[in-house]
Amino acid sequence: MAGPLAGYRVLDLSRILAGPWLAQLLSDLGAEVWKIERPGTGDDTRQWGPPFLRKDGGIDTTESAYFLSANRGKHSICVDISTDEGSAIVRALAQQADLVIENYKVGDMARYGLDYEALKRVKPDIIYCSITGYGQTGPMKDVAGYDMAIQAIGGLMSITGESDDKPGGGPQKVGVPIVDILTGMYSAAGVISALLHRERTGEGQHIDMALLDVQVAVLANQNLNFLTTGTPPKRFGNAHPNIVPYQVFRTSDGSFVLAVGNDQQFRKFCAATGLSGLATDSRFVTNTDRLKNRDQLIPLLDAHLIQQTTQHWISILEPVGVPCAPINRLDQVFAHPQVIHREMQVNLPHSSGTTAPLVANPIKFSGTKIEYAKGPPRRGEDTANILKSILKYDSAAIQDLSERRIIDIGRPEVG
């Protein structure tokens, strides 16, 4: 069975991560994605390396690992939208598309006649998703927004990292560009909802997505910790502001995560680890008690848990239903039996002649199974084919546009 979005066409004018992450997700779900790139250079992230994809013999291709992470399944079309002919090509493609994604600065697309109002005139039911740092309105709408800056201004770094009074204390960013990724995922919910709305009403619409809005939204319990008390949350390092014990503990050979989520789990933890007395200690009976007396409980657990190995504690806590986990490196993650069973790594042919190792989409459908038909594209590799098959350009016209550098039809890879 085809993917749930089979038959839909996406015109992707975005680059870097938030927009491409959205477009890759839509491609995984079956949509046909036309990725518009700048002739000569393409998406900025193509050069964000090393590391680069490697051929047999260890020779680097021109594709960065970063680019590969967010662009599988797409068709790369290189068009210079700053030219009249180039922008006309993209408008013509928009007439054949269901959805347009862009993450240019506010107002930039209007310069090329590719903004929502312009495209709505030629495709009244178009769904148009704009992704920016701070949104299409407001005092910061013209400010460029990158993930780390948004993590800072949006509060995430104020609650991430070890507390200031401990060694290494201070604000930390998350280890991946989490705001970009979450913006892509929220945007997916937005555009799919807009498609459903269009099915019912025939109406398209403009979706205004801001990284800052997403960052504020996903602070979840920490937002409400502040809004219900008026006190800004502080950094707890690997500990939890609302649950105890819920943090990293050292063992005799490393560390592990203990995530006790309720009082019953705490009693099971105490019984399994030989700390039964703590379960009835009036300071620690309920989570409220443990939060109040965190500074008394944690040293007791530290002193006990460091006496045995990580595997020892995992082996006795997992069977009794106490949430815990080792802290794995990525080599251990991809070698883990559960990750292997869930088929979270996929390998797709790459047009450079090698194979691209990729990470699978985590959605598991019972019927509309996700299939990966195309690896991440080389720059411009689909330009000629899309212009011929969708816009009915002949070979002579395509060659002329290529020679005048309006389009880029891709070139053999060097090396």
What value does the mean pLDDT take over residues 326-343? Answer: 97
Tell me phi and psi for residue 50, to 5 degrees.
-70, 165
d(CA 385, CA 2): 23
The residue annotated as part of the active site, out of 43, 147, 180, 208, is 180
413 pLDDT exceeds 50? no
Give the pLDDT of residue 346.
97
Residue ending a domain, among 263, 295, 327, is: 327
Residue 334 lies in a domain: no
For the segment 29-83, what is each residue's pLDDT rounded down to a tens digit?
Answer: 999 999 999 999 999 999 999 999 998 777 788 899 999 999 999 999 999 999 9
For the segment 78-105, what is each residue's pLDDT rounded down to a tens digit?
Answer: 999 999 999 999 999 999 999 999 999 9
Say how many domains are in the chain.
2
pTM: 0.94
d(CA 75, CA 128): 19
Q: Hey, what are 217's tokens?
A: 């939204």
State how far Cα 332 lies from the chain centre.
21
Q: Which residues 6+ apart lie within 8 Å of 213 measured at CB?
A: 135
Q: Is 180 a catalytic residue?
A: yes
The radius of gyration of the chain's CA atoms, rounded to the nearest angstrom, is 25
For the segment 156-201, what is each residue's pLDDT rounded down to a tens digit?
Answer: 999 999 988 888 899 999 999 999 999 999 999 999 999 999 999 9
In this structure, are 253 and 192 located in the same domain?
A: no
Domain that holds residue 347: 7-216+340-406
- CATH no. for residue 253? 3.30.1540.10
In this structure, are 175 and 83 located in the same domain?
A: yes
The two beta strands, 74-79 and 407-408, are: antiparallel
In this structure, are 182 and 272 located in the same domain?
A: no
Residue 299 lies in a domain: yes
- CATH no. for residue 29? 3.40.50.10540
In this structure, are 271 and 363 located in the same domain?
A: no
For the segment 239-264, what is each residue's pLDDT rounded down to a tens digit?
Answer: 999 999 999 999 999 999 999 999 99
Residue 134 lies in a domain: yes
Of residues 159, 133, 116, the one with CA closest to residue 214: 133
First to last CA, the chain: 39
